[in-house]
Amino acid sequence: MRRTKIVATVGPASDSADILRAMIRAGVNVFRLNFSHGSAEEHKARCEMLRTLAHEQGCYVAILGDLQGPKIRLRKLAGDAVEIAEGDELWLDTQLADGEGDKQHLGVDYEPLARSVAPGDTLLIDDGRFQLSVLEVKGAAVLCRSESSGTLRSRKGINRLGGGLSAPALTEKDLQDIEHAAGMDLDFIAISFPSSAADIADARDKLQKAGCFAQIIGKIERAEAVAEEEHLDELIRACDGVMVARGDLGVEIGDASLIGLQKHIIKRASRLNRPVITATQMMESMISNPIPTRAEVFDVANAVLDGTDAVMLSAETAAGKYPVETVKAMARNCEGAERYPSARKSSYRLERSFDSVEETLAMSAVYAANHQQGVKAIVSLTETGRTVLLMSRLTSGIPIFAFSRNESTCNRVSLYRGVFAVASPEAGVTTEDCVEELKARGHVAAGDLILMTMGDQIGVDNHTNTLKIVRVL
């Protein structure tokens, strides 16, 4: 069974029941709704369709709503696009309105721009495709020289190399989307461009006041967020999970620094018991091609070997020609990487002490499963999914089955590495019930061993205190 989970973005290329059904069969575990595009009504309809399709397929999928956030962008140009040549001088003007920009004067929707940059700074447009050197700051405008050539279109994002262009993490549009999200059946909601734990706390407060209790995925994409390890750890702890958003992050810190930082963020998130998604351009060539490049195959494999919980597809499934084929290729490549020994067994937590009985039981179960001959499955009777989240932090080739009576828990654990949900209609599900269910699904057979964790008080949250080994008869 594939342990690494797949997040796929829904968009025009995949917005039909037949394609979404095929994507679920191909291996999608989490569907992403990008609130930068589409209406609230469209996203709500997609949520309902995805739940119906998952029930039809007899499986669980999580749904992630992704807030647009304060992306700093060019305003709309007077025409469709402008041609920029290397050496051209142009003004970035925050007082220029939509529809007024040309190749010499580009409007920007970020009022503090002139106060945030200085001569010698480097600005990056369209994920770094255009590089501008700041020459002069005059009033509300910034004079730049282009170090790149090409076609520049409206509404492209702007970053400063090294970070420093910071707007509040939640925009007016985000606040409206939060109100709409409360009426959707979301499992997770992603907060874009948080710079600190305080941004996440503010977002959580606004979500809960709106009646939305989806878990928060913090997108790590600002240089400020990763400037200091203690600051990064605080941000991770404030979230329920994180995303390595390599697009904007790479633009701000530089591609060369991104390589090691991806590994570091995944490691820190795992140690702090948070699931992590690795995102951006993982199979971008499959937007227009039916097979990935070798470089993309290796990129996916490296993320798997780094220990990511999930890998994400964006435009590949939202706007690409081959959404189903892309999911199949991603699943194939994850499974290939997981066959490597380091992706199946580790002992990195054995040097540390545990903070709770629950963590002790979770770590003991996975360690025993990795070393006891004949163990084919780990079973956890769980109310919230907390125990299986802790289990999934320790690498193993043994599948973890979360038996839960809570549908929200079954959906949510779809994100966790190596965890698979099984519905338990009754709170008092027995050991025999679990064994028979796994036998019926073909996961275990007579003579196999199963490791089981549970609480001695049935139906009580955060009370896992029992570990036992069961032989299948």
Alpha helix ranges (H) inside 152-213 = 172-181, 197-209
Torsion of CA 274, 261, 349, 217, to 10 degrees: 0
- Give the closest residue to 398 by CA, choosing from 425, 380, 424, 423: 380
The answer to whether residues 456 and 465 touch, using CB atoms and an 8 Å cutoff, is yes
DSSP letter (8 states) at residue 74: B
How far apart are alpha carbons 68 and 386 in whole angstroms? Answer: 29
Active site residues: 32, 73, 219, 280
DSSP string of 413-454, one letter each residue: GGGSTTEEEEE-SSTT--HHHHHHHHHHTTS--TT-EEEEEE
Instruction: Write down the residue that tokens 């027995």 correspond to.
Output: 430
Instruction: Give the Cα separation of 64 and 412 in Å (integer).
Output: 10
Dist CA 110 CA 71 (whole Å)? 9
Q: Which residue reads 């025009």 in tokens?
A: 12
Backbone dihedral region for residue 147 (phi beyond 0: left; psi -120 to 50: alpha; all else: beta): alpha
| CA dist., res. 412 & res. 425, Å (int) | 17
